[in-house]
Amino acid sequence: MSVTTTTELVPGYVAGTWDVDPVHTDVSFSVRHMMVSKVRGRFTGVRGEIVTAEDPLASSVTATIELASIDTANEQRDNHIRSADFFEVEKYPTMTFRSSGVRHQRGRFLVDGQLDLHGVVRDVTLEVEANGFTVDPYGNTRAGFSATGEINRKDFGISIDLPMDGGGVVIGDRIQLQLEVEAILRPTA
């Protein structure tokens, strides 16, 4: 696909280097709970950099999430997730995603990269949508992106199983990721 055609897929596309705006960014997840429902949570400590290249397929992203910032709306559960049973935040305080490439496939943008979580690095692909580019009331150029993906917690050495009496486990293995990212264009020197 040519550069012109690819950028036409993203109306108002702006090339540049962007800082993730943590106040207007939501990094959320959901996981099966008790085999019957899903628990949702989010991370409030996020920072990152997005580089939108002239050719969108040459773009990149790096993001770091403070694992202690987890919020599932239950303090006892959050503290357990921060413990050695799950994240071990004392030993592994952050998780980091670094992209390795961008693809356009069947009308979707896929961002391939490596996720470093719990001392383990694995390949992860996120499906990304560029929501738009605009100028805010203060003169800053902003961009919005939505992304989804899935990881298996056991692939990252988070292997605790809490079996249930009737079969099954309290916590599922598959974690669905949902990201709503707003970023601010860095001024050029």
The residues spanned by each domain of the chain are 3-185
What is the pLDDT, as a whole number, of residue 166?
67
Beta bridge partners of 65: 46, 95
Residue count of the chain: 189
Task: Answer for the pair 128, 109: CB distance below 8 angstroms, yes or no.
Answer: yes
Output the six-digit token pair for 55. Answer: 């050719």
Element (DSSP H or E) covering residue 79: helix 75-82
What is the pLDDT, as a whole number, of residue 168?
54
pLDDT in tens, the chain (189 residues): 344 445 566 778 999 999 999 999 999 998 876 566 688 999 999 999 999 999 999 999 999 999 999 999 999 989 999 999 899 999 999 999 999 999 998 888 999 999 999 999 999 999 999 999 999 999 999 999 999 999 998 999 988 776 556 655 567 788 999 999 999 999 886
Place of tokens 């203060």: 138
- Say which DSSP state 188 is in: P
Computed from CA positions of residues 98, 8, 176, 125, in that sequence, does the dihedral angle turn out positive or negative?
negative
Count CB-CB contacts under 10 A for residue 8: 11
What is the pLDDT, as a whole number, of residue 31?
84
What is the pLDDT, as a whole number, of residue 11?
75
Task: Answer for the pair 117, 149: CB distance below 8 angstroms, yes or no.
Answer: no
d(CA 26, CA 122): 22
Q: Which of 86, 88, 115, 87 is nearest to 100 (CA)?
A: 115
CATH of 3-185, one of 3.30.420.40, 3.30.450.20, 2.40.128.110, 3.60.21.10: 2.40.128.110
What is the pLDDT, as a whole number, of residue 97?
98
What is the pLDDT, as a whole number, of residue 39?
86
What is the pLDDT, as a whole number, of residue 131?
93
Q: How far apart are the first and last CA of the chain?
A: 32
What is the pLDDT, as a whole number, of residue 161?
76
